[in-house]
Structure 1
Amino acid sequence: MMSSGSLGAEQADAVVVGAGHNGLVAANLLADAGWDVLVLEATGAPGGAVRSAEVTAPGYLSDLYSSFYPLGYASKVLRGLDLTRYGLAWRHAPDVLAHLFPDGRAALLNRDPDVTATSLEEFAPGDGERWLTAYAEWQHVAGPMLDLITTPFPPVRPGLDVLRRLRTGGALRLARRMVLPVRRLGEEMFAGAGGPALLAGSALHTDLSTEDAGSGVYGWLLVMLGQQVGWPVPTGGAQKITDALVARLTERGGRIRHDARVDRVLVARGRAMGVRTIDGGLYRARRAVLADVPAPALYLDLVGAAALPPRLVADLTHFRWDGSTLKVDWALSGPVPWSNRRLATAGTVHLGADLGGLTGYAATLARGELPPDPFLLVGQMSVADPGHSPPGTESLWAYTHLPFRRHWRTEEVVGHVERMEAVLESAAPGFRSLVVGRHVAGPADLEEANPSLVGGALGGGTAAPYQQLFLRPVPGLGRADTPVDRLYLASASAHPGGGVHGAPGANAARAALARDRTLTGGVYRRAVDTAHRAVYR
């Protein structure tokens, strides 16, 4: 080990900035390739937005950020790491999802397609069969679609597989579906209100509105995955995903340093050489630096504008965050007293609006205003995994979107929590009387606990089409490679974006390995540089 005053006070083949799940995935894949890997995490614990703790009352476990993981369960990236060997197991709620309408009806998604179909049939004759047809169509393309989403851009092989399965006409129809607003998609697929509500509520897990182009594909993807694999939770909480990734990495010799906040990527002759932490610590990277941080933080803060093409710096001024988030966890002394008992067995509940209400809610957010009747995404964690709380009780959470802001007044957050609880009390009279503990995480709280959640934005940037694929995070940077040699973006700001599936981390690891396959990486790097010059000259 070299002296603390020299570059390389600690050395590794790869230095990974950030121990979120993407950073840990990248570190694991590099360790699998025989690389010596060091992960530097700014906070006191690994996991980023995949963590659990008791924050409401003793004996009540809360997933602090994310909870239900259809993409994680289906992800070839996570599955390829064989995390079950490191303690990860999955559980399912009896019903995947329930969407409650203002009139008290509910549309149900269940892992049994016939149960889902029966629920939708209640909203319009024939909608049950329409659901089964739509699910059969999904099954035909599910494999290549997931590959299309999670592999590096451009996804040539998955795209060819989709084309082979659907032929030209079918592929063109699928392409059209992928750009439809979710309201339009729901109208085309169903006659009644149930199916469109399941689609639209699921699309609003992102920052897109029901009228935004591309929102349909998110709703379609989530409900079809829910039908195919459910929306499972890790047994024992989200933390188990992080624990498994950490255990796997350390078994392979990987190291993690906590409370090691990086404030600079060290660049010499256009190449990333290592990083510096805020306490002056210097870490040399012999082969690569991978950053599991938001794109603006990497480029503007850690690298600095002087080391970047001016056009890239200008493009970053147009980078758009997804919306801010307000999340509340409750410890309840009993199950949620839903007026409609169909909701009692659903792991996730969409609450507070029909399709028209969802459109109005999204429009209010777009105007930068707080919705008076917020749409809630609710998680009944003890329904999904009884170990989250004592027998006969419930560990409940709900979150709602806010307009994106870095700063919120305390009274605004407190007032909106009251609105959230009013929505719950309306749907479940007596809810408030069961509360024995509560934990509120506003946008500032989320960012303080996890610096990557800027302004409480959970997705690493908007899911809108203008900031996806080869446009993510800005035009020309659709891959993990950056204009700095041996520096890779491994966060949700990179393609394919948010969600717990590990693809950005895996893509960054693959890019680093590809760059390193020759003695100098010259051929690979010249190709990357040529592509970047075409965009930034």
Structure 2
Amino acid sequence: MTRKANIVGAGPNGLIAAAVLAEQGFEVKVFERNAIPGGAAVSGTTLGDDVVVDLGAAAHPFAFGSPAFAHFNLTGQGLEWKFHDYPLAHPLDGADSVLLHQDLNETVKQFPQDSRVWQALHGPLIRRPHDTLDNVTSPLLGIPPHPVLMARFGLLSLPPARLLVATAFRTREAKALFAGSSAHSMLPLEHPFTSGFGALFGALGQSWGWPVARGGTGSIINALLKVLGALGVQIHTDTHITDLSQLPPAELTILDVTPRQLLAMAGSRLSPRYRKQLERWRYGTAVYKVDYLLDGPVPWSDPRTANAGTVHVVGDASELAYAEREVTAGRMPQRPFVMVVQPSSADASRAPAGQHVIWSYAHVPQGYTGAAGELIDAQIQRFAPGFKDRILRRVETSPAQLEDWNPNLVGGDIGGGSLSGLQQFLRPTASLSPYSFGVPGLYLCSSSTPPGGGVHGMAGWNAAHQAIKDMTRS
């Protein structure tokens, strides 16, 4: 008799979980609230029918090296990666941008005084990028695949990024470049373990870069859908599951949702202790998104910046640290941390000839209800005089609109929950089996479980393998 499985939520994690189970012989049904699968990894036409806009994630250092994506050979299903001249640029007032090169030696030429320290921080991770990613995408409370490398990374990660920047680096350039990568934690830079984000994002950029998917992030999902189609997985879109009783009978059910939705769907089935733990779950810093269509490339003060895939727009490390502290405290800074992705400078398919798509967001307080679009405009204009004159069309998306589109983005939090305190390690609770919530046959696989946010599918991969292992034992 064929074993059956249900997946709720068709983000990358849910789709990978479905693929793993189908590969093991399960009859799998996926239920997705929206009209198209993909969660926050889809593309759309909000700037015009002939323009491709990434509605959620845009640049993909994790997707490119994902063990789950590699297993299912997404590039063999039509996924093509596009690379920029520079993975990352960080503009500075009154100076050239500091650039993250896809080569460690080229990066450190910009700050010779900090060359040895930069190499010591990033070198071991750059030499073994796949092993590094294997470590950080595995459940953090288990034994990592490469323990010695993980131990070195753990020691490096411990200091707050602001402390490491202040004590390890002497140059303005190295401080800014490392702090910008550390800000991907969406935590104040005074928080322990933020240095790990700086080292990890920098190391991946200096090994295989931060590529974009040709034709938009939705191309990743399209490749996954081809895999699922070949495996016979059924996908039901426009199907909003609000209670587990709506699902057909199955031996396994895996949910690609955050604790808030889990409580609503399955609260009565959870133990009182587990339910209380989920009720204490904290959502973190949000984003306010603006997409632009320009009549040409961004006129950055340093023209090389136009050839960077991602641009951190905020200024010096001290200004970045201040902005992140304000956001965490619930206050909107006038000069927020803004992340810009310039996909069409490497992927001409994104917009008509001569035009450019610019994807951006600012870090804003959780649940922010104000308007941040003009602040984002001003930050980019600050380092690219004449930017506003290039705008043909622009679309703003607030935290509330992000959550309406994808309920997993609670209050505009794109990471499935804050990484502050123990939530960085105990996602969503303290357990050696974080994907199981104590109800036989039920599992969780969202970014609220290890390894957290990002387009990599590894939470779905880990959850599905845990479910199969548990079923085999029983």
Same fold per superposition (TM over 0.5): yes
Determine which of 290, 311, 314 is the counterpart of 2:254: 290
* CA deviations over 1:89-125 (Å, ceiling 9, x no partner): 1010111101112333321001132321222x2xxx4
Following superposition of structure 1 onto structure 2, how do residues 31-430 of structure 1 map, counting pairs within 5 Å?
31-119=22-110, 121=111, 125-140=112-127, 142-162=129-149, 171=151, 174-266=153-245, 276=246, 282-285=247-250, 287-298=251-262, 300-304=263-267, 306-405=268-367, 408=369, 412-413=370-371, 416-430=372-386
Structure-2 separation of matches of 1:80 and 1:187: 41
Quick one: which amino acid aligns to residue 277 of structure 2? Answer: D
Give the deviation of 1:189 after TM superposition. 3.9
Q: What SS does the aligned partner of 1:262 have?
A: coil
Determine which of 418, 427, 438 is the counterpart of 1:483: 438
Structure-1 separation of matches of 2:79 and 2:127: 29
Structure-2 separation of matches of 1:188 and 1:356: 13
Asked whether the 8 Å contact 1:478–1:495 carries over to 2, the reply is no
Aligned to 1:511: 466
Give the deviation of 1:384 after TM superposition. 2.7
Q: Structure 1 stretches (4+) deviating beyond 4 angstroms? A: none
* CA deviations over 1:150-176 (Å, ceiling 9, x no partner): 22354325253537xxxxxxx4x5433
Structure-2 separation of matches of 1:184 and 1:143: 28
Distance change (3 Å), C-alpha of 1:338 and 1:162: closer
Give the deviation of 1:465 after TM superposition. 4.6
Aligned to 1:449: 405
Give the deviation of 1:20 after TM superposition. 0.5
Structure-2 separation of matches of 1:315 and 1:58: 45
Give the deviation of 1:331 after TM superposition. 0.4
Structure-2 separation of matches of 1:14 and 1:179: 40
* CA deviations over 1:318-339 (Å, ceiling 9, x no partner): 2111212100000001111111
Q: What SS does the aligned partner of 1:156 have?
A: coil
Asked whether the 8 Å contact 2:339–2:360 carries over to 1, the reply is yes
Structure showing greater radius of gyration is: 1
Distance change (3 Å), C-alpha of 1:182 and 1:384: farther
Quick one: which amino acid aligns to residue 91 of structure 1? Answer: K
Quick one: which amino acid aligns to residue 186 of structure 2? Answer: D
Aligned to 1:463: 419
Structure-1 separation of matches of 2:148 and 2:472: 27
Aligned to 1:6: none
Quick one: which amino acid aligns to residue 388 of structure 2? Answer: R
Structure-1 separation of matches of 2:356 and 2:28: 40
Quick one: which amino acid aligns to residue 366 of structure 2? Answer: F
Aligned to 2:395: 439
* CA deviations over 1:166-206 (Å, ceiling 9, x no partner): xxxxx4x5433222111222344432122221221112123
Distance change (3 Å), C-alpha of 1:468 and 1:374: closer
* CA deviations over 1:190-234 (Å, ceiling 9, x no partner): 321222212211121232111111111011100100001100111
Asked whether the 8 Å contact 1:295–1:494 carries over to 2, the reply is no
Asked whether the 8 Å contact 2:142–2:432 carries over to 1, the reply is no
Q: What SS does the aligned partner of 1:15 have?
A: strand
Structure-2 separation of matches of 1:434 and 1:468: 40
* CA deviations over 1:282-313 (Å, ceiling 9, x no partner): 4111x200000112211x10111x33222222
* CA deviations over 1:351-380 (Å, ceiling 9, x no partner): 122111011101211221111112210111
Structure-2 separation of matches of 1:385 and 1:478: 41
Confirm whether residue 500 of structure 1 aligns to residue 455 of structure 2. yes
Q: Which runs of 5+ in 1 are unaligned?
A: 1-10, 164-170, 267-275, 277-281, 522-537
Structure-1 separation of matches of 2:388 and 2:153: 45
Structure-1 separation of matches of 2:316 and 2:144: 39
* CA deviations over 1:391-449 (Å, ceiling 9, x no partner): 222100210111112x72xxx22xx2111111122221211111111111111111111
Quick one: which amino acid aligns to residue 423 of structure 1? Answer: Q
What TM-score does the superposition give when structure 1 sets the normalisation length?
A: 0.84
Give the deviation of 1:260 after TM superposition. 0.8
Asked whether the 8 Å contact 2:68–2:456 carries over to 1, the reply is yes
Distance change (3 Å), C-alpha of 1:420 and 1:157: closer
Alignment: residue pair count: 473
Structure-1 separation of matches of 2:224 and 2:4: 19
